[in-house]
Structure 1
Amino acid sequence: MAGLIKGPAIFLAQFAGDEAPFNSLPAITKWAADLGYKGVQIPTFDGRLFDLDKAAESQTYCDDVKGICADAGVEITELSTHLQGQLVAVHPAYDLAFDGFAPANVHGNPKARQEWAVDQMKKAAVASRRFGLDASVSFTGSLAFPYLYPWPQRPAGLIEEAFRELANRWKPILDVYEDNAVDVGYEIHPGEDVFDGATFEMFLDALGGHKRCQINYDPSHFLLQQMDYLAFIDIYHERICAYHVKDAEFNPDGRQGVYSGYQGWVNRAGRFRSLGDGQVDFSGIFSKLAQHGYDSWAVLEWECCLKSPEQGAAEGAPFIESHIIEVTDKAFDDFAGAGTDQEQIRRMLGLTS
């Protein structure tokens, strides 16, 4: 069995802002370290913190970024390309909404926007290797999600064609990650075509089982879908390369359920919460991950409709720390063991005359 889960770490995307200490990498990493975090997951799409184009081109820049983090007392866990990955595949219904994720010069031009996103994804592979990272985290994007609930009935072959096209777009990207020995941990998330185990398997099959197609495990999205998120680890643990520690709760009533009635976050039956305020069984999750030998980072992703980000971040580090399991190297009943030899074993089994 592998060793200890690393952490606590924190995804910086939800905390970055225009005010100090959230507006620069030196300041925000020191803030994170002061709260007890040992790692930071860097959003490559936030220019206040990181320059992906420069990171793909310059080892010196990457060394400088690593130095900033080390000076603050944290390591880089992964590079995040969630927004760029989303733009690898966008259904036209979402074109206007998702233009905001891309530079202004490609707005209103889906082809140019996709080309920009693909280039960004490939640069993140190179940058990850420059940092010495073995994994990154992203989204798959979506072509089929508008057809999730089949009314009117989907025409035969629509979903299969969507996943073929999704794989066609991602395989050349994943090949670059293979060249750089970096995994892509897809966050399995409603709004993406890969939003549960069944759709992950469809995507993986369409990719021919590509070894770099991995999972960023986030139980909050599974709880809100009412999935068995512990069994998910048993099924897919060999593909889990990253872990977002995020809480959620689901409280259906006589007015709404999984689809949450178009309500805002506070009034939804399913909503994200700060760590410890929701319903996710983190003791069970950390136990399952330890059982299956997960030895990468446990990264707080803070999203809560009630609590402030500052309070959520402050509470998150000790919460994660308290759940990390130091994997034992001996059995609890070793004290009762007695020396044996092969002849004694055969006698105990009644195999000697």
Structure 2
Amino acid sequence: MKTIQGPAIFLAQFMGDEAPFNSLDSVCQWAAGLGYEGIQIPTWDARLIDLKTAAESKTYCDELIGKIDDHGLSITELSTHLQGQLVAVHPAYDAMFDGFAPAEVHGNSKARTEWAVQQVKWAAKASRNLGLTSHVTFSGALLWPFLYPWPQRPAGLVETGFKELAARWKPILDVFEDNGVDACYELHPGEDLHDGVTFEMFLEELNGHPRANINYDPSHFVLQCLDYLAFIDLYHDRIKAFHVKDAEFNPTGSQGVYSGFQGWVNRAGRFRSLGDGQVDFSAIFSKLSQYDYDGWAVLEWECCIKSPEQGAEEGAQFIADHIIQVTEKAFDDFAGAGSDEAFNRKVLGI
């Protein structure tokens, strides 16, 4: 067995216009001061990384590593959640998702997709230059508007959607393969890849591409009423990244999984800070350790009640307390009698 690394923190929800969240140095100092050992970097924030330069220059990456190392931190993964989302966008969402891309491609879905694909390919190369082996992203979605089959979906619609999604990602995943990096999809409502079944459908269209993997985040499974512990048993060989995020699902007589278009505070299912929700993290850390997951445990803060600063402060210790230093010996080693084939046959009476 192997020991999980951490605690680490995803910086996306913390960056802002005021210190300490407005520069790489200041946010690293803040994170290290809370006890974090790693940071997950959102590649769309130019204050943290120049993605194109990182893809092209090992020297730039060495200098970036040095700056972060000066604070006692490591880079866990790069993230292209926003860019990955734009690899596949149904036209119903064009206007809303334009905000994830630069102004020059707004209103031009083809140009926006090409921009997103290039971004994710650069992330694969940048990850290699940074010595990383995993990357986190979203899949995007062509089928999400058709999730609930009313009116009935046309025959073959789902199959066509997954063929197209796989066709868009195959060249990207090949770049990840060339650079020795796993692309880890966060299985998330709003994405075509949002649970185990949809991941399997995608993987089938990719002929089991070895670089198509999973960023495990139990919070999204709580909100879908999915067994997030059994999920680890089923897909542990594809889990290459881990977002530590809590959630709760409290259905009432008036709302359930879909939550009646309510805001986050008033939803039956909502994200919470670590320890404030319903996720059994002790069981999760045990299962991941059992299956030799030795990547990072990365806090993702998205609480609808608690402030990000308090969530981050409490989260570092929460993760540290859940990391299991795995044993290198069996508890009953002291009782080992030693034997050979002849002895075993004697014990069996044969």
Does the pair score TM above 0.5?
yes
- Which residues in structure 2 correspond to 1:84-163 (within 5 Å)? 84-163=83-162
Structure 2 equivalent of residue 175 of structure 1 = 174
Q: Does 1:280 align with 2:275?
A: no
My pick for the range that moved more, 215-224 or 53-62, is 53-62
Letter in 2 for 1:212: R
Aligned: 1:312 with 2:311? yes
* Deviates most, 39-48 or 332-341: 332-341
Q: How does 1:25-40 map to 2 (within 5 A)?
A: 25-40=24-39
- C-alpha displacement at 1:337, in angstroms? 2.6
Q: TM-score, normalised by structure 1?
A: 0.98
Q: Report the 3-state secondary structure (helix = DSSP H, G, I; strand = E; otherwise coil) of the residue aligned with 2:151.
A: coil
Q: Which 10-residue stretch deviates more, 330-339 or 276-285?
A: 330-339
Write the letter of the residue equivalent to 1:127. Answer: A
Q: Which amino acid aligns with 1:36?
A: G
- The equivalent residue for 2:250 is 251
**1:51 and 2:57 aligned:** no
Alpha-carbon distance in structure 1 between the residues aligned to 2:34 and 2:62: 24
CA distance in 1, matches of 2:17, 2:176: 32
Which position in structure 1 is the counterpart of 2:62? 63
Name the TM-score, length of structure 2 as normaliser.
0.99
Report the alpha carbon displacement of residue 340 of structure 1 after superposing the two structures with TM. Answer: 2.8
Match of 1:299 in 2: 298
Deviation of 1:306 after TM superposition, in Å, equals 0.4
Look up the match of 2:344: 345
Cα offset for 1:139? 0.3
Partner Cα distance (1:225, 1:49) in 2? 33
Give the 3-state SS of the residue equivalent to 2:203 in structure 1: helix
Equivalent position amino acid for 2:101 in 1: A
Q: CA deviation at 1:217?
A: 0.2
Moved more, 329-338 or 137-146: 329-338
Secondary structure in structure 2 of the residue aligned to 1:343? helix
Identity %: 73
Per-residue deviation, 1:335: 2.4
Contact 1:8/1:37 (<8 A) preserved = yes
CA apart distance, 1:342: 2.8
- Following the alignment from structure 1 to structure 2, what is the Cα–Cα distance between the partners of residues 301 and 22? 15
3-state SS, counterpart of residue 70 of structure 2: helix
SS in structure 2 of the partner of residue 72 of structure 1:
coil
Distance in 1, matches of 2:349 and 2:76, equals 54
The alpha-carbon deviation at position 51 of structure 1 amounts to 1.2
Question: Which residue identity is paired with 1:215?
Answer: I
Q: CA deviation at 1:260?
A: 0.6
SS in 2 for 1:20: coil
- 2: CA distance, partners of 1:300 / 1:259: 26
Q: Is 1:227 the equivalent of 2:226?
A: yes
1:242 aligns with: 241
Offset, 1:257: 0.4
Unpaired segments of 5 or more residues in structure 2?
A: none
Q: CA deviation at 1:48?
A: 2.0
CA contact (8 A) 1:265 1:305 kept: yes
Residue equivalent to 2:73: 74
| C-alpha deviation, 1:65, in angstroms | 1.0
Match of 1:210 in 2: 209
